[in-house]
Amino acid sequence: MKKLRPETNSKYAQISFYTILTVVIIFILARIVDHLPAFFGAVGSGLHWLGVILRPLVTGFFIAYLLYPLTNFFQRQLKKVPGWNQKAKLTRGLAVLCTVVIAFVVIFVLLTLMISTVTQELHAVRLDDISNFLTGLADTIRSFFSTLSEWLSSMSIGSEDLTTIADKISGWGTSIAQKAGSDILNNVSKIPSFLAGSMFAIIFSIYFQLDGEGLKRYWKRVYRAITNKKIYDGTRILLNDADRVFSGYIRGQLMDAVFMAVVVSVALALIHVPFAILIGILSGIGNLIPYLGPVIAYGSTALVCLVEGDIRMLIVSIIVVFIIQTIDGNVINPKFLANTTHVHPVLVIVALLIGSRSGGLIGMIFAVPVAALIKVEFERLINDLIRRRNIKSA
Protein backbone atom coordinates (compact mmCIF):
# COMPACT_ATOMS: atom_id res chain seq x y z
CA MET A 1 0.00 0.00 0.00
CA LYS A 2 1.35 3.41 -1.00
CA LYS A 3 2.15 5.67 1.95
CA LEU A 4 1.28 9.34 1.90
CA ARG A 5 4.02 11.88 2.29
CA PRO A 6 4.24 13.84 5.56
CA GLU A 7 3.44 17.05 3.67
CA THR A 8 0.25 15.43 2.30
CA ASN A 9 -0.80 14.25 5.79
CA SER A 10 -0.27 17.76 7.15
CA LYS A 11 -2.33 19.24 4.31
CA TYR A 12 -5.23 16.80 4.92
CA ALA A 13 -5.09 17.47 8.65
CA GLN A 14 -5.27 21.21 8.03
CA ILE A 15 -8.25 20.80 5.70
CA SER A 16 -10.01 18.58 8.24
CA PHE A 17 -9.38 21.13 11.00
CA TYR A 18 -10.83 24.02 8.99
CA THR A 19 -13.82 21.86 7.95
CA ILE A 20 -14.63 20.97 11.56
CA LEU A 21 -14.12 24.60 12.65
CA THR A 22 -16.51 25.81 9.92
CA VAL A 23 -19.17 23.30 10.98
CA VAL A 24 -18.82 24.37 14.64
CA ILE A 25 -19.11 28.06 13.73
CA ILE A 26 -22.20 27.41 11.58
CA PHE A 27 -23.75 25.39 14.42
CA ILE A 28 -23.07 28.19 16.94
CA LEU A 29 -24.47 30.85 14.61
CA ALA A 30 -27.58 28.74 14.01
CA ARG A 31 -28.13 28.35 17.77
CA ILE A 32 -27.65 32.11 18.25
CA VAL A 33 -30.23 32.85 15.54
CA ASP A 34 -32.66 30.43 17.18
CA HIS A 35 -32.25 32.23 20.52
CA LEU A 36 -31.64 35.74 19.22
CA PRO A 37 -33.84 37.62 21.78
CA ALA A 38 -32.23 35.79 24.69
CA PHE A 39 -28.77 36.40 23.21
CA PHE A 40 -29.30 40.15 22.86
CA GLY A 41 -30.83 40.25 26.33
CA ALA A 42 -27.72 38.61 27.77
CA VAL A 43 -25.49 41.02 25.83
CA GLY A 44 -27.54 43.99 27.10
CA SER A 45 -27.31 42.75 30.68
CA GLY A 46 -23.57 42.32 30.30
CA LEU A 47 -23.15 45.82 28.89
CA HIS A 48 -25.29 47.26 31.70
CA TRP A 49 -23.18 45.45 34.30
CA LEU A 50 -20.02 46.68 32.59
CA GLY A 51 -21.41 50.23 32.54
CA VAL A 52 -22.14 50.10 36.28
CA ILE A 53 -18.49 49.24 36.88
CA LEU A 54 -16.96 51.61 34.32
CA ARG A 55 -19.10 54.67 35.13
CA PRO A 56 -17.43 55.53 38.49
CA LEU A 57 -14.05 54.58 37.00
CA VAL A 58 -14.45 56.97 34.07
CA THR A 59 -15.91 59.68 36.33
CA GLY A 60 -12.99 59.31 38.72
CA PHE A 61 -10.54 59.59 35.84
CA PHE A 62 -12.27 62.75 34.60
CA ILE A 63 -12.18 64.34 38.08
CA ALA A 64 -8.49 63.47 38.46
CA TYR A 65 -7.80 64.85 34.98
CA LEU A 66 -9.38 68.19 35.91
CA LEU A 67 -7.60 68.43 39.27
CA TYR A 68 -4.21 67.19 38.02
CA PRO A 69 -2.69 70.68 37.38
CA LEU A 70 -3.68 71.84 40.88
CA THR A 71 -2.16 68.70 42.43
CA ASN A 72 1.06 69.18 40.46
CA PHE A 73 1.19 72.83 41.59
CA PHE A 74 0.95 71.85 45.26
CA GLN A 75 3.58 69.15 44.77
CA ARG A 76 6.01 71.65 43.23
CA GLN A 77 5.47 74.01 46.14
CA LEU A 78 5.98 71.25 48.72
CA LYS A 79 9.22 70.16 47.06
CA LYS A 80 10.61 73.62 47.77
CA VAL A 81 10.45 72.85 51.50
CA PRO A 82 14.01 72.05 52.73
CA GLY A 83 14.59 68.30 52.93
CA TRP A 84 11.40 67.35 51.07
CA ASN A 85 12.79 67.37 47.54
CA GLN A 86 13.58 63.64 47.63
CA LYS A 87 10.34 62.59 49.35
CA ALA A 88 8.22 62.09 46.24
CA LYS A 89 5.51 59.92 47.84
CA LEU A 90 5.09 62.23 50.83
CA THR A 91 4.87 65.40 48.72
CA ARG A 92 2.48 63.75 46.26
CA GLY A 93 0.21 62.51 49.04
CA LEU A 94 0.09 65.91 50.73
CA ALA A 95 -0.54 67.60 47.37
CA VAL A 96 -3.48 65.27 46.69
CA LEU A 97 -4.80 65.91 50.20
CA CYS A 98 -4.66 69.69 49.70
CA THR A 99 -6.41 69.38 46.33
CA VAL A 100 -9.21 67.16 47.69
CA VAL A 101 -9.76 69.48 50.68
CA ILE A 102 -9.98 72.56 48.42
CA ALA A 103 -12.38 70.79 46.03
CA PHE A 104 -14.67 69.76 48.90
CA VAL A 105 -14.57 73.26 50.41
CA VAL A 106 -15.50 74.86 47.07
CA ILE A 107 -18.39 72.41 46.52
CA PHE A 108 -19.58 72.90 50.12
CA VAL A 109 -19.49 76.71 49.82
CA LEU A 110 -21.39 76.65 46.50
CA LEU A 111 -24.08 74.33 47.86
CA THR A 112 -24.37 76.39 51.04
CA LEU A 113 -24.76 79.61 49.07
CA MET A 114 -27.40 78.07 46.81
CA ILE A 115 -29.42 76.62 49.69
CA SER A 116 -29.13 79.76 51.84
CA THR A 117 -30.13 82.17 49.08
CA VAL A 118 -33.13 80.05 48.09
CA THR A 119 -34.18 79.68 51.74
CA GLN A 120 -33.86 83.41 52.42
CA GLU A 121 -35.79 84.36 49.32
CA LEU A 122 -38.56 81.88 50.13
CA HIS A 123 -38.80 83.24 53.69
CA ALA A 124 -39.00 86.77 52.30
CA VAL A 125 -41.99 85.87 50.11
CA ARG A 126 -45.28 86.55 51.84
CA LEU A 127 -48.37 84.43 51.41
CA ASP A 128 -50.33 87.50 50.32
CA ASP A 129 -47.84 88.10 47.49
CA ILE A 130 -48.19 84.51 46.32
CA SER A 131 -51.98 84.76 46.48
CA ASN A 132 -52.03 88.04 44.53
CA PHE A 133 -49.65 86.61 41.93
CA LEU A 134 -51.76 83.48 41.44
CA THR A 135 -54.95 85.57 41.26
CA GLY A 136 -53.41 87.82 38.64
CA LEU A 137 -52.18 84.81 36.70
CA ALA A 138 -55.67 83.25 36.73
CA ASP A 139 -57.22 86.54 35.53
CA THR A 140 -54.66 86.73 32.74
CA ILE A 141 -55.47 83.18 31.61
CA ARG A 142 -59.23 83.85 31.67
CA SER A 143 -58.74 87.04 29.66
CA PHE A 144 -56.59 85.17 27.18
CA PHE A 145 -59.19 82.45 26.61
CA SER A 146 -61.97 85.04 26.34
CA THR A 147 -60.01 86.92 23.67
CA LEU A 148 -59.18 83.66 21.93
CA SER A 149 -62.86 82.64 21.91
CA GLU A 150 -63.90 85.96 20.35
CA TRP A 151 -61.14 85.67 17.74
CA LEU A 152 -62.14 82.11 16.83
CA SER A 153 -65.81 83.15 16.61
CA SER A 154 -64.89 85.88 14.16
CA MET A 155 -63.22 83.17 12.05
CA SER A 156 -66.41 81.00 12.14
CA ILE A 157 -64.84 78.51 14.52
CA GLY A 158 -67.41 77.38 17.07
CA SER A 159 -67.05 76.82 20.79
CA GLU A 160 -67.06 73.05 20.23
CA ASP A 161 -63.84 73.36 18.25
CA LEU A 162 -62.39 75.50 21.00
CA THR A 163 -63.39 72.88 23.55
CA THR A 164 -61.68 70.17 21.48
CA ILE A 165 -58.51 72.24 21.28
CA ALA A 166 -58.64 72.95 25.02
CA ASP A 167 -59.12 69.24 25.76
CA LYS A 168 -56.07 68.40 23.65
CA ILE A 169 -54.01 71.05 25.41
CA SER A 170 -55.25 69.81 28.79
CA GLY A 171 -54.40 66.21 27.89
CA TRP A 172 -50.97 67.29 26.69
CA GLY A 173 -50.35 69.15 29.95
CA THR A 174 -51.56 66.19 32.02
CA SER A 175 -49.26 63.76 30.19
CA ILE A 176 -46.31 66.13 30.73
CA ALA A 177 -47.12 66.41 34.44
CA GLN A 178 -47.44 62.62 34.80
CA LYS A 179 -44.15 62.07 32.99
CA ALA A 180 -42.45 64.71 35.15
CA GLY A 181 -43.80 63.04 38.29
CA SER A 182 -42.61 59.59 37.23
CA ASP A 183 -39.19 61.01 36.31
CA ILE A 184 -38.89 62.64 39.73
CA LEU A 185 -39.80 59.38 41.47
CA ASN A 186 -37.31 57.45 39.34
CA ASN A 187 -34.55 59.95 40.10
CA VAL A 188 -35.32 59.83 43.82
CA SER A 189 -35.07 56.03 43.76
CA LYS A 190 -31.64 56.32 42.10
CA ILE A 191 -30.17 58.54 44.85
CA PRO A 192 -28.57 55.64 46.83
CA SER A 193 -26.87 54.24 43.71
CA PHE A 194 -25.79 57.76 42.72
CA LEU A 195 -24.21 58.34 46.14
CA ALA A 196 -22.45 54.97 46.02
CA GLY A 197 -21.16 55.66 42.50
CA SER A 198 -19.98 59.12 43.55
CA MET A 199 -18.08 57.68 46.50
CA PHE A 200 -16.28 55.15 44.29
CA ALA A 201 -15.59 57.88 41.71
CA ILE A 202 -13.93 60.01 44.41
CA ILE A 203 -11.84 57.03 45.53
CA PHE A 204 -10.75 56.33 41.95
CA SER A 205 -9.90 59.99 41.39
CA ILE A 206 -7.68 60.07 44.48
CA TYR A 207 -5.93 56.89 43.33
CA PHE A 208 -5.38 58.28 39.83
CA GLN A 209 -3.91 61.47 41.28
CA LEU A 210 -1.61 59.56 43.63
CA ASP A 211 -0.22 57.14 41.06
CA GLY A 212 -1.07 58.78 37.74
CA GLU A 213 2.50 58.93 36.47
CA GLY A 214 3.14 55.30 37.40
CA LEU A 215 0.00 54.14 35.61
CA LYS A 216 0.93 56.21 32.57
CA ARG A 217 4.42 54.67 32.37
CA TYR A 218 3.07 51.12 32.85
CA TRP A 219 0.39 51.27 30.16
CA LYS A 220 2.72 53.09 27.77
CA ARG A 221 5.19 50.22 28.16
CA VAL A 222 2.43 47.62 27.62
CA TYR A 223 1.09 49.39 24.52
CA ARG A 224 4.58 49.77 23.07
CA ALA A 225 5.13 46.03 23.53
CA ILE A 226 1.94 44.91 21.73
CA THR A 227 2.02 47.39 18.81
CA ASN A 228 4.51 48.36 16.15
CA LYS A 229 6.31 51.70 16.04
CA LYS A 230 3.98 53.31 13.47
CA ILE A 231 0.82 52.57 15.45
CA TYR A 232 2.49 53.59 18.71
CA ASP A 233 3.69 56.92 17.33
CA GLY A 234 0.29 57.65 15.76
CA THR A 235 -1.52 56.89 19.02
CA ARG A 236 0.94 59.01 21.00
CA ILE A 237 0.37 62.01 18.69
CA LEU A 238 -3.41 61.55 18.89
CA LEU A 239 -3.37 61.38 22.71
CA ASN A 240 -1.13 64.45 22.93
CA ASP A 241 -3.51 66.38 20.67
CA ALA A 242 -6.51 65.19 22.70
CA ASP A 243 -4.84 66.18 25.96
CA ARG A 244 -4.01 69.65 24.63
CA VAL A 245 -7.48 70.25 23.18
CA PHE A 246 -9.53 68.80 26.04
CA SER A 247 -7.43 70.17 28.89
CA GLY A 248 -7.31 73.65 27.38
CA TYR A 249 -11.00 73.80 26.53
CA ILE A 250 -12.54 72.14 29.59
CA ARG A 251 -10.34 73.85 32.16
CA GLY A 252 -10.74 77.17 30.37
CA GLN A 253 -14.52 76.77 30.32
CA LEU A 254 -14.53 75.86 34.01
CA MET A 255 -12.56 78.98 34.94
CA ASP A 256 -14.88 81.07 32.77
CA ALA A 257 -17.91 79.44 34.44
CA VAL A 258 -16.55 80.33 37.90
CA PHE A 259 -15.92 83.91 36.74
CA MET A 260 -19.47 84.25 35.37
CA ALA A 261 -21.03 82.70 38.49
CA VAL A 262 -19.21 85.11 40.82
CA VAL A 263 -19.63 88.28 38.72
CA VAL A 264 -23.31 87.71 37.85
CA SER A 265 -24.15 86.83 41.47
CA VAL A 266 -22.42 89.93 42.88
CA ALA A 267 -23.80 92.29 40.20
CA LEU A 268 -27.41 91.12 40.55
CA ALA A 269 -27.15 91.10 44.35
CA LEU A 270 -26.01 94.75 44.29
CA ILE A 271 -29.18 95.77 42.44
CA HIS A 272 -31.28 93.59 44.79
CA VAL A 273 -32.48 91.03 42.24
CA PRO A 274 -34.11 88.06 44.04
CA PHE A 275 -32.27 84.71 43.83
CA ALA A 276 -29.14 86.56 42.57
CA ILE A 277 -26.68 83.90 43.74
CA LEU A 278 -28.78 81.08 42.30
CA ILE A 279 -29.07 82.91 38.95
CA GLY A 280 -25.30 83.48 38.93
CA ILE A 281 -24.47 79.84 39.66
CA LEU A 282 -26.91 78.62 37.00
CA SER A 283 -25.45 81.11 34.51
CA GLY A 284 -21.94 79.84 35.27
CA ILE A 285 -23.00 76.22 34.81
CA GLY A 286 -24.78 77.15 31.58
CA ASN A 287 -21.59 78.80 30.33
CA LEU A 288 -20.00 75.34 30.10
CA ILE A 289 -22.13 74.87 26.97
CA PRO A 290 -21.68 77.48 24.22
CA TYR A 291 -24.67 79.80 23.70
CA LEU A 292 -26.56 78.31 26.67
CA GLY A 293 -25.09 80.56 29.38
CA PRO A 294 -26.55 83.82 28.01
CA VAL A 295 -29.97 82.19 27.54
CA ILE A 296 -30.03 81.09 31.18
CA ALA A 297 -28.71 84.44 32.43
CA TYR A 298 -31.22 86.56 30.50
CA GLY A 299 -34.14 84.17 30.90
CA SER A 300 -33.84 83.56 34.65
CA THR A 301 -33.19 87.26 35.38
CA ALA A 302 -36.19 88.37 33.32
CA LEU A 303 -38.43 85.70 34.87
CA VAL A 304 -37.55 86.67 38.44
CA CYS A 305 -38.00 90.39 37.75
CA LEU A 306 -41.36 89.82 36.02
CA VAL A 307 -42.63 87.72 38.92
CA GLU A 308 -41.44 90.48 41.25
CA GLY A 309 -43.35 92.99 39.09
CA ASP A 310 -40.50 95.52 39.01
CA ILE A 311 -39.99 96.77 35.43
CA ARG A 312 -37.21 99.16 36.46
CA MET A 313 -35.28 96.31 38.04
CA LEU A 314 -35.87 94.23 34.90
CA ILE A 315 -34.39 96.88 32.61
CA VAL A 316 -31.38 97.56 34.85
CA SER A 317 -30.63 93.86 35.41
CA ILE A 318 -30.86 93.05 31.69
CA ILE A 319 -28.41 95.90 30.94
CA VAL A 320 -26.04 94.61 33.65
CA VAL A 321 -26.18 91.05 32.32
CA PHE A 322 -25.61 92.35 28.78
CA ILE A 323 -22.47 94.24 29.90
CA ILE A 324 -21.13 91.17 31.74
CA GLN A 325 -21.81 88.87 28.78
CA THR A 326 -20.14 91.32 26.38
CA ILE A 327 -17.00 91.57 28.53
CA ASP A 328 -16.90 87.81 28.99
CA GLY A 329 -17.43 87.04 25.30
CA ASN A 330 -14.83 89.51 24.01
CA VAL A 331 -12.18 89.56 26.75
CA ILE A 332 -12.44 86.93 29.50
CA ASN A 333 -13.48 83.82 27.56
CA PRO A 334 -10.89 84.28 24.76
CA LYS A 335 -8.23 84.80 27.45
CA PHE A 336 -9.09 81.54 29.20
CA LEU A 337 -9.31 79.66 25.88
CA ALA A 338 -6.22 81.23 24.31
CA ASN A 339 -4.40 77.88 24.01
CA THR A 340 -7.28 75.96 22.46
CA THR A 341 -8.13 75.30 18.83
CA HIS A 342 -10.58 77.75 17.28
CA VAL A 343 -13.73 76.12 15.92
CA HIS A 344 -16.05 77.84 13.46
CA PRO A 345 -19.46 78.79 14.98
CA VAL A 346 -21.32 76.67 12.40
CA LEU A 347 -19.25 73.63 13.38
CA VAL A 348 -19.92 74.43 17.05
CA ILE A 349 -23.69 74.40 16.46
CA VAL A 350 -23.51 71.14 14.48
CA ALA A 351 -21.36 69.57 17.20
CA LEU A 352 -23.82 70.69 19.89
CA LEU A 353 -26.76 69.19 17.99
CA ILE A 354 -24.95 65.88 17.54
CA GLY A 355 -23.75 65.89 21.14
CA SER A 356 -27.21 66.61 22.53
CA ARG A 357 -28.74 63.79 20.48
CA SER A 358 -26.08 61.24 21.36
CA GLY A 359 -25.16 62.12 24.94
CA GLY A 360 -27.59 64.69 26.33
CA LEU A 361 -26.08 67.35 28.60
CA ILE A 362 -22.73 65.55 28.92
CA GLY A 363 -22.60 65.16 25.14
CA MET A 364 -23.13 68.91 24.70
CA ILE A 365 -20.30 69.71 27.13
CA PHE A 366 -17.84 67.46 25.27
CA ALA A 367 -19.15 68.21 21.77
CA VAL A 368 -16.96 71.26 21.12
CA PRO A 369 -13.61 69.75 22.24
CA VAL A 370 -14.38 66.62 20.21
CA ALA A 371 -15.07 68.80 17.16
CA ALA A 372 -11.82 70.69 17.84
CA LEU A 373 -9.90 67.41 18.05
CA ILE A 374 -11.42 66.21 14.76
CA LYS A 375 -10.40 69.50 13.16
CA VAL A 376 -6.82 69.15 14.46
CA GLU A 377 -6.48 65.58 13.18
CA PHE A 378 -8.05 66.48 9.82
CA GLU A 379 -5.61 69.35 9.35
CA ARG A 380 -2.72 67.09 10.37
CA LEU A 381 -3.82 64.51 7.78
CA ILE A 382 -4.07 67.15 5.04
CA ASN A 383 -0.64 68.55 5.92
CA ASP A 384 0.89 65.05 5.83
CA LEU A 385 -0.67 64.38 2.41
CA ILE A 386 0.64 67.68 1.04
CA ARG A 387 4.09 67.01 2.47
CA ARG A 388 4.22 63.52 0.97
CA ARG A 389 3.14 64.76 -2.46
CA ASN A 390 5.74 67.49 -2.38
CA ILE A 391 8.40 64.97 -1.46
CA LYS A 392 7.35 62.63 -4.24
CA SER A 393 7.20 65.42 -6.80
CA ALA A 394 10.63 66.62 -5.72
DSSP string computed for 16-69: HHHHHHHHHHHHHHHHHHHTHHHHHHHHHHHHHHHHHHHHHHHHHHHHHHHHHH
Whole-number pLDDT of residue 91? 85
Closest Cα partner for 252 from 366, 374, 339, 326?
339
Closest Cα partner for 249 from 131, 338, 361, 355?
338
Which tops the pLDDT comparison, 29 or 203?
Answer: 203
Choose the most confident range, by mean pLDDT, from 294-298, 339-343, 351-355: 294-298
> Looking at the domain assignment, is residue 276 inside a domain?
no
> Looking at the domain assignment, is residue 172 inside a domain?
yes
Confidence of residue 123 (pLDDT cuts 50, 70, 90): low
> Looking at the domain assignment, is residue 152 inside a domain?
no
Instruction: State how many domains the chain has.
Output: 1
The CA distance from 270 to 164, in Å, is: 49
Whole-number pLDDT of residue 345? 74
> Looking at the domain assignment, is residue 359 inside a domain?
no
Per-residue pLDDT at 384 exceeds 60:
yes
Which tops the pLDDT comparison, 132 or 235?
Answer: 235
Whole-number pLDDT of residue 2? 47
Confidence of residue 327 (pLDDT cuts 50, 70, 90): confident
Confidence of residue 360 (pLDDT cuts 50, 70, 90): confident
* Helix, strand and coil percent figures for the chain, each rounded to 5: 90, 0, 10
Per-residue pLDDT at 39 exceeds 70:
no
Whole-number pLDDT of residue 156? 57
Calculate mean pLDDT across residues 262-286. 86
Whole-number pLDDT of residue 274? 81
Per-residue pLDDT at 187 exceeds 80:
no
Whole-number pLDDT of residue 10? 60
Calculate mean pLDDT across residues 65-94. 83
Calculate mean pLDDT across residues 337-346. 70
Whole-number pLDDT of residue 90? 82
Whole-number pLDDT of residue 215? 83
Calculate mean pLDDT across residues 352-372. 78
Rounded to whole angstroms, what are the CA distances from 128 to 76, 132, 272, 275?
59, 6, 21, 19
> Looking at the domain assignment, is residue 176 inside a domain?
yes
The CA distance from 369 to 354, in Å, is: 13
> Looking at the domain assignment, is residue 183 inside a domain?
yes
Side-chain half-sphere of 59: how many Cα atoms within 13 Å? 17
Calculate mean pLDDT across residues 149-172. 60
Going through 103-261 in order, the beta strands assigned E by DSSP cover none
Confidence of residue 140 (pLDDT cuts 50, 70, 90): low
Number of residues written out for the chain: 394
> Looking at the domain assignment, is residue 170 inside a domain?
yes
Whole-number pLDDT of residue 382? 87
Confidence of residue 1 (pLDDT cuts 50, 70, 90): very low
Whole-number pLDDT of residue 295? 86
Confidence of residue 287 (pLDDT cuts 50, 70, 90): confident
Per-residue pLDDT at 276 exceeds 50:
yes
Confidence of residue 75 (pLDDT cuts 50, 70, 90): confident
Calculate mean pLDDT across residues 259-283. 86
> Looking at the domain assignment, is residue 324 inside a domain?
no
- What b/e readout covers 245-263, taking b as 16+ CB neighbours within 10 angstroms? bbbbbbbbbeebbbbbbeb
Domain of 179?
A: 165-189
